[in-house]
Structure 1
Amino acid sequence: MGYKIVVVGATGNVGHEMLNILAEREFPVDEIAALASRRSQGTEVSFGDRTLKCQDLEQFDFTGWDIALFAIGGEATKTYAPRAAKAGCVVIDNSSLYRYDPDVPLVVPEVNAAAVDGYTKKNIIANPNCSTAQMVVALKPLHDRARIKRVVVSTYQSVSGSGKEAMDELWNQTKGMFVPGQEVAPSVYPKQIAFNVIPHIDVFLDDGSTKEEWKMVAETKKIMDPSIKLTATCVRVPVFVGHSESINIEFEDFLDEDEARDILREAPGILVVDKREAGGYITPVECVGEYATYISRIRQDSTIDNGLNIWCVSDNLRKGAALNAVQIAEVLGQRCLKKG
């Protein structure tokens, strides 16, 4: 016996990955529905060795379904997530709409799985921002050992975080660089992304930070510990899939780099690849399609008393979105729901 599962936004990058991961991890599914907007009704999507036809989200009745994985924008989520939740279907939402709602748990299973229990207040669980998810997986086991005071993080985020149109823009701009007269002007991004980096993700706030940077601060505090001070600089880079982060951590207590390496090797969801030689680290290209958050370049920061630097890489469509959502569903099933 299993669950009745709905994937909302099944034709998008994240929805596609949700279906893949549900099949790969052999999630106990009795029945599954793929939903999309009306214009995508009838579009075929893969679920393991099965082919599903997308149904119209607007007309779908969530009554009797157990879990809905949402991978649509915030505006559509605002309409349909409460409808699903009211019908008794637990929503796991990948948008930012509910992340900062005190009545909605924000969950990374390796970090705060028990927070899932709070879903009953609104029948909704929030998935964190992609850049936050991989970072807190790396920070949590270190925080448990030496207590983190402050984090300085710079991100190098792939274009898939902006969706298919952004991936197309990078591809077309790259091709256009080599064909005179076929240059492609920016449309998704404010500046050219091919062979460039853009220190601007989401909108600017009054203090000069961007909303993406604010999200990392707010979400880390909610998921891990409100006392942690964090400052972020979020940068879009010409990579198709895979987010990277350079993380500087200041602890209350001294933590030796060798002990940190051992702690991270034993931590759930993490693979350490850290050889001090050419190629002895993980790059975004190597993490695509993988479940793990990879940690490399672990080293002492000699400029402060209790500091470490690490390099963190993960597939943002997986751990940053789809995988984390499916892991939440797994925890929800183990802790809270009975199989049908």
Structure 2
Amino acid sequence: MGYKVVVAGATGNVGREMLNILAERQFPVDEIAVLASRKSLGTEVSFGDQTLKTKDLEQFDFTGWDMALFAVGSDATKVHAPRAAKAGCVVIDNSSLYRYDPDVPLIVPEVNPEAVTGYSKKNIIANPNCSTAQMVVALKPLHDRAKIKRVVVATYQSVSGAGKEGMDELWDQTKGMYVPGQEVEPSKFQKQIAFNVIPHIDVFLDSGDTKEEWKMVAETKKIIDSAIKVTATCVRVPVFVGHSEAVNIEFEEFLDEDEARDILRESPGIMVVDKREAGGYVTPVECVGDFATFVSRIRQDPTVENGLNLWCVSDNLRKGAALNAVQIAELLGQKVLQKG
């Protein structure tokens, strides 16, 4: 016996990827509904070998449905997630709306699966920010061994993190660089993204951090350990898909780079590719379409006591969003609902 599953926001990048991953991982679906806003009503999307037409999110009745994967942004989620939850449908939300709510678990299944039982307070589970998700997968097994004191991370985030508009802008600006008179001015991003990097994702806060940087701090603390100190610099780069991170970690205990490499090789969701030679590491292009979080460039940091550096790469549309949501659905099914 399988589940009755809803995908809300099925026409967007993340929603389509959710459908792909549900099919790829053979999630036990008895019935599926794909929802979109009225402007996308009737748009066809693929689920395995099926072609489905989207229904109106505003009019949809969630009664009798087991779980709903939301990829519709905070404004629509604020309206429709409580409606679904009240109808008895467990919401797995990809927006930032509920991530910091103490009554809503924020889950990365490889890291804190035990938190899933907390869903019952509001019938909602939150999916973390894409840049946080891949980092905590790499941090948690190292934290279990040597206890992390402090993390300094610089991200190199692809334009797909800003949705289809971000991808289109990079494409159009790149083409426009070679065609006189067809230059494209920034609209989605604050400055030109083609052949450039932008140290600004989301809005600026009074502290001088951007909200994206604040998210990485708050979410790492909620998912792993509130005692960990985190500081982040988040940068948008001209890459279509795949987020990269340079991560510096300071531990309470000494952790040898070889032991760290062995720990990560044995940890769920991680693929270590770390050869000290040309090309012996993973770049964003190589991670696209893959489920894993890739870790490379593992080495001691001699400038601090008990320090390590590493390079972390993942497909942000997958592990950073859609895959993590589907993994939460699998966890929910295995540990709580237990129908499939």
TM-score band (shorter)? over 0.9
Q: Which residue of 2 aligns with 1:206?
A: 206
Q: Which residue of 2 aligns with 1:95?
A: 95
Structure 2 counterpart of 1:253, one-letter code: E
Seq. identity, %: 84
- How far apart are the structure 2 equivalents of 1:42 and 1:186? 31
- Per the TM alignment, residue 324 of structure 1 is displaced from its structure 2 partner at its CA by 0.1
Q: Which residue of 2 aligns with 1:134?
A: 134
1:187-206 residue CA offsets vs partner (Å, 9 max, x unmatched):
00110000000000000000
- How far apart are the structure 2 equivalents of 1:165 and 1:261? 38
- How far apart are the structure 1 equivalents of 2:338 and 2:126? 21
Q: Which residue of 1 aligns with 2:248?
A: 248
- How far apart are the structure 2 equivalents of 1:38 and 1:194? 33
- Per the TM alignment, residue 174 of structure 1 is displaced from its structure 2 partner at its CA by 0.2
Q: Which residue of 1 aligns with 2:36?
A: 36
- Per the TM alignment, residue 339 of structure 1 is displaced from its structure 2 partner at its CA by 1.5
Structure 2 counterpart of 1:118, one-letter code: G
Larger mean CA deviation between 76-85 and 330-339 belongs to 330-339
- Root mean square deviation of aligned Cα: 0.6
- Per the TM alignment, residue 167 of structure 1 is displaced from its structure 2 partner at its CA by 0.3
List structure 1 segments (4+ residues) > 2 angstroms apart after TM superposition. none
- How far apart are the structure 2 equivalents of 1:41 and 1:237? 33
- How far apart are the structure 2 equivalents of 1:44 and 1:207? 44
Structure 2 counterpart of 1:249, one-letter code: I
Q: Which residue of 2 aligns with 1:57?
A: 57
- Per the TM alignment, residue 83 of structure 1 is displaced from its structure 2 partner at its CA by 0.3
Q: Which residue of 2 aligns with 1:10?
A: 10
SS of the equivalent of 2:110 reads helix
Q: Which residue of 2 aligns with 1:265?
A: 265
SS of the equivalent of 1:111 reads coil
Q: Which residue of 2 aligns with 1:80?
A: 80
Q: Which residue of 2 aligns with 1:185?
A: 185
TM-score (normalised: structure 1): 0.99
- How far apart are the structure 1 equivalents of 2:38 and 2:171? 28
- How far apart are the structure 1 equivalents of 2:52 and 2:298? 44
Give the unaligned 5+ runs of structure 1: none
Q: Which residue of 2 aligns with 1:288?
A: 288
Pair 1:226 & 2:221 matched: no
1:166-195 residue CA offsets vs partner (Å, 9 max, x unmatched):
100000000000011110000001100000
Q: Which residue of 1 aligns with 2:169?
A: 169
Pair 1:108 & 2:108 matched: yes
Structure 2 counterpart of 1:311, one-letter code: W
- How far apart are the structure 2 equivalents of 1:121 and 1:227? 25
1:216-266 residue CA offsets vs partner (Å, 9 max, x unmatched):
000000000000000000000000000000000000000000000000000
1:288-338 residue CA offsets vs partner (Å, 9 max, x unmatched):
000000000000001012000000000000000000000000000011003
SS of the equivalent of 1:19 reads helix
- How far apart are the structure 2 equivalents of 1:338 and 1:67? 12
- How far apart are the structure 2 equivalents of 1:68 and 1:167? 27
- Per the TM alignment, residue 211 of structure 1 is displaced from its structure 2 partner at its CA by 0.2
- Per the TM alignment, residue 278 of structure 1 is displaced from its structure 2 partner at its CA by 0.5
Pair 1:154 & 2:154 matched: yes
- Per the TM alignment, residue 42 of structure 1 is displaced from its structure 2 partner at its CA by 1.1
Q: Which residue of 2 aligns with 1:322?
A: 322
- How far apart are the structure 1 equivalents of 2:137 and 2:24? 21
Q: Which residue of 2 aligns with 1:297?
A: 297
Number of residue-to-residue matches in the alignment? 340
- How far apart are the structure 2 equivalents of 1:195 and 1:257? 34
Structure 2 counterpart of 1:329, one-letter code: A
SS of the equivalent of 2:10 reads coil
- Per the TM alignment, residue 40 of structure 1 is displaced from its structure 2 partner at its CA by 1.2
- How far apart are the structure 2 equivalents of 1:57 and 1:72? 10
1:16-64 residue CA offsets vs partner (Å, 9 max, x unmatched):
0000000000000000000001121111100001111100111100000
SS of the equivalent of 1:110 reads coil
SS of the equivalent of 2:268 reads coil
- How far apart are the structure 2 equivalents of 1:167 and 1:321? 16
- How far apart are the structure 2 equivalents of 1:141 and 1:36? 38
1:275-294 residue CA offsets vs partner (Å, 9 max, x unmatched):
00000000000000000000
- How far apart are the structure 1 equivalents of 2:339 and 2:39? 33
- How far apart are the structure 2 equivalents of 1:338 and 1:270? 27
- How far apart are the structure 1 equivalents of 2:179 and 2:107? 46
- How far apart are the structure 2 equivalents of 1:76 and 1:93? 11
Q: Which residue of 2 aligns with 1:334?
A: 334
Give the unaligned 5+ runs of structure 2: none
